[in-house]
Structure 1
Amino acid sequence: MFSTILVPIDLAEPESSHRALDAAFHMAHEYNSDVHVMTVVPDFGMSIVGGYFPEGFEQKALDGTRQRLDEYLEGAVPDNVDVKGHVAHGSIYEEILRVAKEVGADVIVMASHRPAMRDYLIGPNAARVVRHATQSVLVVRD
């Protein structure tokens, strides 16, 4: 049913990430799927903000995030599962949708916290992915 699964994770929320990964690994075992795990380093938003950071800061952040993702996956992925890791940079929900298209994902499995009042006004990344994704999305709640 699903041949390629994308799991976007937040390295700052390891418990939520574990829940989404567990669901994805179960699906991968059931359907013999490829699993791609990604995380996103947000961009500065406005270019003027970037001027306050030292030169090379973004690359250093991307390299550090790649190392953290690799370390996280070492401890979180069972030996019998093959996972490809991806680090993206930009708007979180836009990068999730871009990578989903790039890897040919049929389903996105992602964690989401219980909505708070501010989420109804601003809109969390999970909600944006659900609204705009062309593939199925499984949202795993805390």
Structure 2
Amino acid sequence: MFKTILMPIDLQHKSSWSRALPAARAQLGEGVELHLLGIVHDVGNAWVASYLPKGYEQRALEEMKAELDSFVARELADVDGVTTHVGYGHVAETIVETADRIGADLIVMASRSPDELRTFRIASQGDRVVRHSPISVLIVR
């Protein structure tokens, strides 16, 4: 049914992929592409960025790419044609933009169980992606 699947993951938090990966695998079939996305968060403040070492962003992007490739070799060695992507910026925005750029027709991602207080203070990334994505989003809990 789906041809191009995007799965954003945070390699620092196993919960971002441990349940979502089996759900993404279940969607794979002949001719289905799986794309993994790692995101380097935007510092969001020029003052804070001025304290970071020169070349911080580029090094962070390169390290993220290497870690994603290692993840694929370890967790998806049996799947052909997995593509890794590294984004930079706000998480939900980067996910939706990447899905559009690669022509994804499904986003598979993990999300924490709802917590009204946390959602009120800082809406979850999954919630933001669902609200702004023009394609189907499979949230796995």
After TM superposition, the score normalised by the length of structure 1 is: 0.92
Correspondence for 2:42? 43
Correspondence for 2:12? 12
Q: C-alpha deviations, 1:83-136, integer Å up to 9, x for none? A: 100010111111000100001011100001112221233201110000000000
**What are the residue-to-residue correspondences of 1:1-142 with 2, within 5 Å?**
1-29=1-29, 32-116=31-115, 117-141=117-141
- Percent sequence identity over aligned pairs: 41
8 Å contact from structure 1 (residues 93, 125) kept in 2: yes
After TM superposition, the score normalised by the length of structure 2 is: 0.93
- Separation of aligned partners in 1, 2:28 and 2:17: 16
Q: Which runs of 5+ in 1 are unaligned?
A: none
- Separation of aligned partners in 2, 1:126 and 1:5: 16
Q: Which runs of 5+ in 2 are unaligned?
A: none
* 4+ residue runs over 6 A deviation: none
- Aligned residue pairs total 140
- Separation of aligned partners in 1, 2:61 and 2:97: 17
Report the residue type matching 1:57 in the other structure. Y
Report the residue type matching 1:125 in the other structure. Q
Structure with greater proportional helix content: 1
CA RMSD, 1 decimal:
1.4
